[in-house]
Amino acid sequence: MRTSIRLHLYLEDTLETPAAVADDAPEFAVHVSLSTVDRTDYAMAATRILQAKNLRPTRDSISLLRAVASSPYAAARALYQLATEDESRELRPDELRYALGTLEPKQLLADLPPTVSRIVQTLLTAENRLS
Is 27 inside a domain boundary? no
Q: How many domains does the chain have?
A: 1
Is 13 inside a domain boundary? no
Is 56 inside a domain boundary? yes
Interatomic CA distance for residues 100 and 114, integer angstroms: 16
pLDDT of the chain, 131 residues: tens digit per residue = 566 677 778 888 877 777 777 777 777 777 777 778 899 999 999 999 999 999 999 999 999 999 999 999 999 999 999 999 999 999 999 999 999 999 999 999 988 899 999 999 999 998 887 67
Is 10 inside a domain boundary? no
Q: Which amino acid is at 103?
A: L
Is 25 inside a domain boundary? no
Domain of residue 70: give its range: 39-125
Contact (CB, 8 A) for 115 and 94: no
Is 8 inside a domain boundary? no
Distances (CA, A) of 83 to 16, 86, 88: 46, 10, 12
Is 103 inside a domain boundary? yes
Helix (H, G, I), strand (E, B) or coil at 89: strand
Q: Which amino acid is at 73?
A: Y
